[in-house]
Structure 1
Amino acid sequence: MRAHASAAPKRAVSTEPRVTVVVLAAGKGVRMNSRLPKVLHPVAGRPMLLWSMAAARALDPARTLVVVNPTQDGVQAVLNGEGQTVAQSKALGTGHALAQVAAAHRTAGPVVVLYADAPLLRGETLAALLAEHEKSRAAVTLLTADLENPRGYGRIVRARNGAVRDIIEEKDATGEQKGIREVNSGVYVFSGRELWPALAKLENKNRAGEYYLTDIVRLIKGKVHTWPVEDRNEILGINDRRQLAEAERVMRQRILDGLMTSGVTIADPATTFIDADVHIGRDTVVLPFSLISGESTIGEDCVIGPFAQIRDSIIGEACRIERAHVDQSTLAQNVHVGPFSRLRPGSVLDDGVRVGTHAEIKNSHIGAGTAIAHFSAVLDSDVGANANIGAGTVTANFDGVDKHRTEIGDRAQVGSDTILVAPVRVGEDAYTAAGSVITADVPAGSLAIERSEQKIVPGWTERRRGRRKREDST
């Protein structure tokens, strides 16, 4: 690359048959108007960068290099040790980004280059492109597409004999060139032997003053081959929030199609949102306006929704989750969670648990067959099997300084409107009377009653009405 001191020094190119993948992830993403680096914006619950990394894994590469902007926080954490990062300290274009690859990694074998802001690219497409490249024995193979609206893409300029002559970025294209429908996707397979010498010849003689990777087509020695993508959505690059929403829509439909093919019923795909890392068993039904996100797993024969929200949770077989929120919780089999209830992180519900409407459970273990009635709040509790928690029960876990746990034994019967002030234990087969405030342990098989004696005032209503009449007459 001319007139740029940061280009890697020349060195003899090594010979290695396995592919090297370079993911370009250093873009500023100005049009996203966000403090979050563009490549970390999620699509179907997964950062865009990780979609590109997943596509790269389909090639079983010898190495994956990720070119990053060292000033952008969070990218290294998202990669979590996958791939090797390469810093691009100055944003001088895509060609300059590729030039930051160290000499030790400049192999003679295939070099696949793709962008981290193209989350819809499939690994199968990359593998087919690589196979086409090896078959054609070209110096470079471009993934292209024919678009009715090619705005924003570099145009493929061909000679009269059909050979690729150049790639013109839209900002540098003439009016005639802007009418070309064949576009460059930004995905390449190079012969490393031809790529690295050509890269050193790049210049920044364009309106942006950048080193365009697309100019390699004019500089590389050897055949330039193209391979059209079957699904045009795969080459959608994300530059703004509208394109992000479009990618989300396409990816969501892919996910739903895959689920329906595997035997899951999606009642209304248009109003169902399921992330990429969700797994759902056969014959489960997902009803409209449901959101299942994170790394959630749902078993077979469940009914989810409508209006259910499930995040990072494990749901066993034959469960019924109505319009409830389930967050970082684990449900065994045949669990029923009623409408408007909320399961907060750390909740574990064993087989056959029933949760009524408007109930809340947090950081609690609920034993098999136990019923938690409506308007109850079971917080930081350990509840045994086959117990009954009456409507309006509260386990008061916080004393103003610390949180404490409540223990409720097997087959215990907690009366409606009971307040259990933790730390406290209700033994097996014990009862609490409705409306009690329990502050001490209840032994097994006992009944606890804590409420003042009921007082009857005879004739109170007649006297009160008479007093009102006298007040109204004055």
Structure 2
Amino acid sequence: MSTRNTIILAAGKGTRMKSKLYKVLHKVCGRSMVDHVLTQVEKTHMNQIVTVVGYGAEEVEETLGNRTKYVLQKEQLGTGHAVLQTEPLLKDEDGMTLVVSGDTPLFRAETFEKLFQYHEAKKAVATILTSKAPDPTGYGRIVRNDIGIVEKIVEQKDATKQEQEINEINTGVYVFDNKALFAALHKTTNDNAQGEYYLTDVIQILKEQGDIVAAYRMPSFEESMGVNDRVALSKATKVMQRRINEYHMNNGVTLINPEDTYIDVNIKIGADTIIEPGVLLKGKTVIGDNCHIGAHSELHDTVLHDNVTVTSSYLEDSEMEDGSNIGPMSHLRPDSHIGKNVHLGNFVEVKKATIDEGTKVGHLTYVGNAHLGKRINVGCGVVFVNYDGAHKHETTVGDDAFIGSNSNLIAPLTVADHSFIAAGSTITDEVAQYDMAIARARQTNKAGYFKKLPYDPEK
């Protein structure tokens, strides 16, 4: 197999995005567009990958790291000029070079592989990746002769009426014999309306030299979808989301309504998990087998073990172990660790806390900066008071303790195993094992006092 190289074009500013974020760094299902391209390129076993950067170069390099080499296109003088910037790194390479844009996140590695194979089979010097577009408006057209050989690429603005009726379009992806590519680039000129050096001119130069120029037409037009504005970004996201959702369904996950389920590209989901409509799974979330994610739940960078139930809740950067459940309307904030068979009911917020096996936190409770042991019962309206206005403090509650409803636990605090907090207490001091703590004012009833009050139930 011939040596393979890739040039990723990622130097354009992307003014139509109307964004301060560099165009190729806009995300499609949790991964930047240029990262999508690089990920697929990597699967085709390249000798060298070079990314051409311009605007936002530092951000691109930070995103992609050392997975690719970089060259800087200081002035945006066209696609041909961009490719020419890679010459110091690639000019002496034998074999083939793939050229692809960094704003085409839907291409698959299989398509690149077939393009390489077609190029070699045709013994071509250049091979254009083409597709048939339902609406070719705006795309360069592939003009073939009577026996199917590529004659030229004609841009929309230069096409005759007959040429505009052609629906085979240039996707902007090419494979070149590497040395022929750079030799032809030096023959291009900027004698055009834009004053730029076009990569498409290389095709015409090679044709005039008598070199073989082939065109491989891929079956799927949607792969070639480029992203130049927010509308196209949403369309690409929709296509990618469909792929991701179908992948998970084909691997044993039930999506009740796939069209209303958002799953980022890096998410992992175990078999027999059921996901209801309106769910968003983002970041590096991992979900085990036989889980149930209820409608309108949102999970960010969260790990769920097997048999976990999440009901209409928001989880971020946390972990729930086997058999635990949460919700509805509860919130796991970062660094929360929920043990096996823990029950977190409705309107429970947990932040930077560990709750061990079998503990129940029923409802309307805040647990912050705390470690709760096993088999604890936490009543309604309990607050772990962790902040003194300057610093956060921790509370520890031992195994088999009971925290009565409407209690406040003022940190720093330790509540020992098998201890009992009476309802309505505000606890500030350590509670020893087997003790019951009561910290509330004694009730006083004033006989007949109702009649002395200004309250009138009839008003």
Q: Select 2:274's aligned residue among 273, 277, 285.
A: 285
1:296 lines up with 2:285 in the alignment: yes
Q: Secondary structure at the match of 1:167?
A: strand
* Contact 1:383/1:410 (8 A) holds in 2: yes
Q: State how far apart, in whole Å, the 2-side matches of 1:415 and 1:468 are.
A: 34
Amino acid at match of 1:173: A
Give the structure 2 partner of residue 82 of structure 1: 67
Aligned match of 1:3: none
Of 19, 25, 34, which residue of structure 2 is paired with 1:40? 25
**One-letter amino acid matched to 1:85:** Y
Q: Map residues 225-264 of structure 1 onto 2, 5 A cutoff.
A: 225-264=214-253
- What is the number of equivalent residue pairs in this alignment? 455
The answer on 1:51 being equivalent to 2:36 is yes
Aligned to 1:155: 141
Q: How far apart in 2 are the matches of 1:340 and 1:260?
A: 27
Aligned: 1:128 with 2:114: yes
Deviation at 1:74, TM superposition (A): 1.2
Higher mean displacement: 17-26 or 68-77: 68-77
Question: What residue number does 2:52 align with?
Answer: 67
Contact 1:67 1:98 in 2 (8 A): yes
Are 1:95 and 2:80 an aligned pair? Answer: yes
Q: Given residue 171 of structure 2, which amino acid in structure 1 is its aligned partner?
A: S
Q: TM-score if structure 2 supplies the norm length?
A: 0.96
Q: CA deviation at 1:208?
A: 1.7
Question: For 1:267-282, what aligned pairs fall within 5 Å after superposition?
Answer: 267-282=256-271
Q: How far apart, CA to CA, are the structure 1 residues paired with 2:316 and 2:234?
A: 25
Q: Which residue of 1 aligns with 2:434?
A: 445
TM-score between both structures, scaled by the size of structure 1: 0.93
Residue number in structure 1 paired with 2:353: 364
* Secondary structure at the counterpart of residue 255 of structure 1: helix
Q: How far did 1:173 drift? A: 3.1
Which residue does 1:436 correspond to in 2? 425
| TM-superposed deviation, 1:73 | 4.5
Residue 376 of structure 1: SS of its match in structure 2?
strand
- Does structure 1 retain, via aligned residues, the 8 Å contact 2:87–2:182? no
2:314 corresponds to which residue?
325
Q: In 1, Cα distance between the equivalents of 2:33 and 2:431?
A: 55
> How do residues 303-342 of structure 1 correspond to structure 2 at under 5 angstroms?
303-342=292-331
1:215-260 deviation digits (Å, cap 9, x = unpaired): 1111124111111112211000000000000000000000010111
- SS in structure 1 at match of 2:347: coil
Query: Aligned in 2, Cα 1:369/1:468: closer, same or farther, shift over 3 Å?
Result: closer
2:22 touches 2:55 (CA, 8 Å); kept in 1? no
The corresponding residue for 1:7 is none
CA distance in 2, matches of 1:171, 1:101: 29
Shift of 1:468: 5.7
Alpha-carbon separation, structure 1, partners of 2:33 and 2:270:
26
CA, structure 1 residues 326+104, in 2 after alignment: closer, same or farther (shift >3 Å)? closer
Contact 2:57 2:72 in 1 (8 A): no
* Residues in 2 aligned to 1:197 and 1:309: alpha-carbon distance in whole angstroms: 53
Structure-2 separation of matches of 1:468 and 1:206: 88
Identity of aligned residues (%): 36
Which is further off, 133-142 or 35-44?
133-142
Are the counterparts in 1 of residues 343 and 358 from structure 2 also a CA contact under 8 Å? Answer: yes
**Does the C-alpha gap of structure 1 residues 453 and 188 become closer, same or farther in structure 2, counting only changes over 3 Å?**
same
Summarize deviations over 1:410-457 as a string: whole Å, max 9, x none: 111111111111111111111111111111111111111100111011
The equivalent of 1:167 in structure 2 is 153
Using the TM superposition, give the Cα deviation of residue 463 of structure 1 relative to its aligned residue in structure 2, in angstroms. 4.0
Could you tell me which runs of 5 or more consecutive residues in structure 2 were left unpaired when the two chains were aligned: none
Q: List per-residue Cα deviations over 1:288-320 (Å, max 9, x = no partner).
A: 000001111000101101111001110010110
- Picking from 335, 338, 342, the partner of 1:353 is 342
Query: Aligned-pair distance for 1:193?
Result: 2.9
- Give the AA of the match of 1:68: V
Give distance in 1, aligned partners of 2:453 and 2:314: 47
Instruction: In structure 2, give the amino acid aligned to 1:17.
Output: S
Distance 1:428 1:153, change over 3 A: same
User: What are the Cα deviations for residues 359-378 of structure 1, in whole angstroms up to 9, with x where unaligned?
Assistant: 10001111011111211000
Q: 2: CA distance between counterparts of 1:170 and 1:293?
A: 39
1:316-355 per-residue CA deviation (whole Å, 9 max, x = no partner) reads: 1011001000101011111110111000010000110100
Tell me what 2:255 maps to: 266
